[in-house]
Chains A and B, each alone.
Chain A
Amino acid sequence: MRRFGRLLLALLRELADQNAYQRHLTMHGRKHSAAEWRHFCEQRLRAKYARPKCC
């Protein structure tokens, strides 16, 4: 049950782009800040909304 809960939370964080943000911070060796989040968002959302959404 606990494993399922962890998996569910991980899925929600993935859908919320929070996991991608953590990976971005780790990969570039940076710390969380408002400016960093905005920088990440620019890249992430530009790519995300250039792809079609399904019907």
Chain B
Amino acid sequence: MKLFGRLAWAVVAILAAFCLGGIALRRGEPINSIWLVVAAACTYAIGFRFYAKFIAARVMVLNDKRATPAERLRDGLDFEPTNKWIVFGHHFAAIAGPGPLVGPVLAAQFGYLPGTLWIIIGAVLGGAVQDFVILFASVRRDGKSLGQMAREEIGKIGGFIALLTVLLIMIILLAVVALVVVNALKGSPWGTFTIAATMPIALFMGIYLRYWRPGRVLECSTIGFALVIASIFGGRSVAASATWGPVFSLGALGLAIAVVLYGFAASVLPVWLFLAPRDYLSTFVKLGVVVALAVGILFVRPELQLPAFTRFVDGTGPIFAGKVFPFCFITIACGAVSGFHALISSGTTPKMIAKESHVFPVGYGSMLMESFVAIMAMIAACVLQPGVYFAVNSPAGVVGTTPAVAVATISGWGFPVSVSDMSHLASSVGEQTLFYRTGGAPSLALGMAAIFARGGGGEAVLGFWYHFAIMFEALFILTIIAAGTRVGRFMLHDLVAQASTRAHKPAGMTGVVVATIVIVAAWGYFLIQGVRDPLGGINSLWPLFGISNQLLASVALCVATTILLKMHGPKYLWITCVPLAWLVTVTFTASWQKIFSSDPYLGFLAQADKLAAGPQNATTAALIFNAQLDAVVCGVLALLVAIILLDSLRVWYGLLRGTRDARVTESPFVVSQLQAEEI
């Protein structure tokens, strides 16, 4: 490296350290969001330039002379050598879901500092490494999936458990994201109308693409986007209408049932008619909003109103129970370390990689980009006044069932807020109330709306931007629900096929409907449980989701560690073992506390015991059963991962002692014939 380059990188490193120090040590006065942006950007740059490059050069020994599966197995559909920036965008669009947006908003209850540090450090040393290594491993193995690699590298048990874990995570994920939508739309005719309008818009797009202008996806998505924007404007009139307002003003239970019915219908309808056009639209809106939010934050540079730490680091937080360790680290999964990414890194992306060196920016770089999205979500949450943030996100069961009691409770914590403040805010965004909107989406929408409105238009456009943000979140969450239910159905079919000795046959229509009902019933049960939970549902379901996602990351890191061990012996084990050890510690501690803590607000079993000791009725009995069921689910997830971890340890022990075959199961070396102009 030339002298100028060294000096430039030294400046970046000093800037990163200075900004990280600034956000960590500053107390007692609001801090500008630009500190977080610069700290994150500089740390990512250092991680990308030095750590990821070290892994690429020394550990993976990426070789552009080696033909990738995209070249060797080229079929013009899945396997196709593609420009690295296009693959980067494609991969980023695939990994960025609601997780990096909602998790940081919820974790802001500890203050901005713990979550921010975890997002930055976790991504650089853990999440991006996991995505990078799994993508590399899949590229060297003909684009094989995580489950296939687990089966080949660790054993049959590992493969089966990986599949089962993914199915369980899908069920928890679908329930929790559905709950986020329900809590964002309950009692909101404007929001509900806008989201309801996206259904006929998607059907229109499906028919347009199939029969009127086949293949014109971009053109059709532009029309769809214009119609969605029109529906946001129309939503204000609908909400104000004496006739239509009540029609679209649904309670939480009504909305939950509507989402369950939607999930069933959307996953059995032909994909071209509903799911695909909706997916195209939501992908473009998602990318557009992420870019707009980044520009908005850089342009407005808002100050963070939440402190670095709140009193709730001690585990008494109203949004979810548990101390900052381990719960901050499982609440923010996507954005720091997400096991789900391993499925994408071993799915479509490895089949598009043209040159091995592209694995480096795509695998590592995309995760850094997602981490930056999480930083932006943290900023959006922290620009709210702390009292408003807690009034929106706290359940009635914790802060009190009337607004007057709720503001008294929250003000008593040292975060002053008044009923009139909340009423004014609600009316300025076109809502009747913003109390008890647990789930993170409404507070994120408020933060985003505040940033966009300060960019131009002020309070007059606050309502539009709030509902635009709600539409953006609900649009892609509902797409995930439809696609996830469909995938869950396939997984169920696979699991039954693996468990049975009969030949694997494609499911007929009856099989499709039955499997869909099973999957919808599974996540729908958890959704209704969340809606009925007096503590808001998020307190139980989000930690379960975080634990399961991080456990999947542990599975992925077990596979990655096995591969590194076979390639280099113990020399580079620390690269994957450090994040693996951290995740195992965090997730097993969190699982243990969620099951066995004696605090009824935290531990599922203590919660069931407390309910059992009180007056009994049908509702109490259901709540007791739900708490016990959550404990069982949490225990099963931890047990499954403990099995795969022990199985991996057995394999690693054999490899280190030389009693096990250490041959790397990569596809054979073929010299690449790909010309530069082809990519």
| Contact surface of A with B, Cβ cutoff 8 Å | 7, 10-18, 20-21, 23-24, 26-28, 32-34, 37-38, 41-55
* B340 x A55 contact (CB < 8 A): yes
Also in contact, A55 and B76, with CB within 8 A (given A10-B86, A18-B215) = no
Complex A-B, nearest 6 residue pairs according to Cβ-Cβ distance, in ascending order: A16-B217, A37-B214, A27-B76, A23-B76, A55-B99, A11-B89
In angstroms, Cα B184 to Cα A10, docked, is 35
Judged by a CB distance under 8 angstroms, whether B484 is at the interface is: yes
User: Which residues of B lie under 8 Å from residue A45 when comparing CB positions?
Assistant: 271-272, 275-276
Also in contact, A23 and B271, with CB within 8 A (given A38-B214, A53-B479, A54-B340) = no
Q: Distance (Å) between the CB of B209 and the closest chain A CB?
A: 8
Interface set, chain B 72-89, CB cutoff 8 A to A: 75-78, 80, 82-83, 85-86, 89
**Which of B82, B93, B271 is A46 in contact with, Cβ under 8 Å?**
B271
* B86 x A53 contact (CB < 8 A): no
User: Which residues of B lie under 8 Å from residue A37 when comparing CB positions?
Assistant: 210, 214-215
* B76 x A50 contact (CB < 8 A): no
User: Which residues of A lie under 8 Å from residue B535 when comparing CB positions?
Assistant: none
* A12 x B77 contact (CB < 8 A): no
Between-chain CB contacts (< 8 Å), 23 pairs: A7-B86, A11-B85, A11-B86, A13-B218, A14-B86, A26-B76, A32-B215, A34-B210, A34-B214, A37-B215, A45-B272, A47-B78, A48-B271, A48-B348, A49-B487, A50-B487, A52-B484, A53-B97, A53-B484, A53-B487, A54-B95, A54-B97, A55-B177
Knowing that A11-B89, A23-B77, A55-B98 touch, tell me 17 more A-B residue pairs with CB under 8 angstroms.
A11-B85, A13-B218, A14-B89, A15-B89, A28-B76, A34-B210, A37-B215, A41-B210, A45-B276, A46-B271, A48-B348, A49-B275, A50-B487, A51-B348, A52-B343, A54-B97, A55-B480
Interface set, chain B 34-83, CB cutoff 8 A to A: 75-78, 80, 82-83
Fill in one digit per residue for B457-500: 1 if any A CB lies within 8 Å of its CB, else 0: 00000000000000000000001100110110010000000000
Closest Cβ neighbor of A9 among chain B residues: B218
User: Which residues of A lie under 8 Å from residue B215 when comparing CB positions?
Assistant: 18, 21, 32, 37
User: Which residues of A lie under 8 Å from residue B210 when comparing CB positions?
Assistant: 34, 37-38, 41
* B86 x A54 contact (CB < 8 A): no
* A17 x B487 contact (CB < 8 A): no
In angstroms, Cα B343 to Cα A15, docked, is 18
* B344 x A54 contact (CB < 8 A): yes
